A and B are shown apart, each in its own frame.
Chain A
């Protein structure tokens, strides 16, 4: 196995490894779409925070196509798909008299959300 050497560190740190995929995958959602987060509870790796599961939000921007970590982390394929910034109100997330003006923006893969309305 090749071991990282000191002279490789600077180049590696400056390059990184993007999970963005240069592939023409059709987006399932558009900016402005109302969505609901799937209430799933994977036993393996996921990047879907529990506090948004089952909550309703609005697609704010499309970040492009990225590797899907839930499958990729388990060597089950990259399953590239769009990632969107989805806006949620604190009232939707926390109920009660939480603010409706403030927002929490979370990045959601296509497979985390369903259409609503």
Chain B
């Protein structure tokens, strides 16, 4: 747009990808290939109903119930389904446990594979090329940039969800949380701690 001087504001046009999505959506709707109400329902499902609070409930249960934790590490898909979280992009789950001296983190170097039923849709940085390439080649620096500074002798295991398995990190339960209820524990568990780019901090 040519530069000009007057005192009204112009509305910036949407970004190219947004325009492209709108165009595709209009075409699909016009041709009757998608239903607008179904689209709204899908967006509502993944914006408001399914998200990292589900994963946090799984983590908190594992912290308070040793038998559940064992089932979770043995057969994550079934144990997560016990709490009602299953479905698209969570069909075949693996849970990896952080321990003193051992830190796990998850990436999808090929695209953006992510466990939807427990974490919702992935954050933008998870889908971006810098995270996807550097998580495998330089995980320690990536973690440092996320504010997770690990001692040199902590082993890092990076899980590339390039195939059909979807990974969830079981973070370490922080010290000083012995008296907390399962709900209080779940409230502390962050999305990033279940990707492995964060640690759970006691309040």
Contacts and interface: CB of A to CB of B under 8 A. Distances in A.
B39 to A, nearest CB: 8
Interface stretch (B3-11, B12-20, B29-37, B182-190): B29-37
Interface string B93-117: 0100000000000000110000001
B109 A51 contact: yes
A23 to B, nearest CB: 15
B158 interface: yes
Contact of A18 (B91, B159, B163): B91
B41 A10 contact: yes
B87 interface: yes
B177 interface: no
A105 B160 contact: yes
A102 B155 contact: yes
B161 A107 contact: yes
B92 interface: yes
B133 to A, nearest CB: 8
A19 B37 contact: no
A6 B35 contact: yes
Determine the interface band of chain A, counting residues with CB < 8 A from chain B: 35 or more
A71 interface: no
A47 interface: yes
Nearest to B32: A3
B139 interface: yes
Contact of B91 (A6, A19, A49, A94): A19
Contact of A10 (B45, B90, B140, B164): B45
A76 B39 CA distance: 31
B160 A106 contact: yes
Contact of A51 (B87, B92, B136, B165): B136
Interface of B: 32-35, 37-38, 40-42, 45-46, 50, 86-92, 94, 109-110, 117, 136-137, 139-140, 155-165
In the A-B complex, the 4 residue pairs with the closest CB atoms: A107-B163, A18-B91, A6-B37, A9-B41
Given A13-B88, A47-B110, A49-B110, 13 more contacts: A10-B45, A12-B87, A13-B50, A15-B86, A15-B88, A16-B91, A66-B163, A69-B163, A85-B159, A101-B155, A102-B140, A102-B158, A107-B163
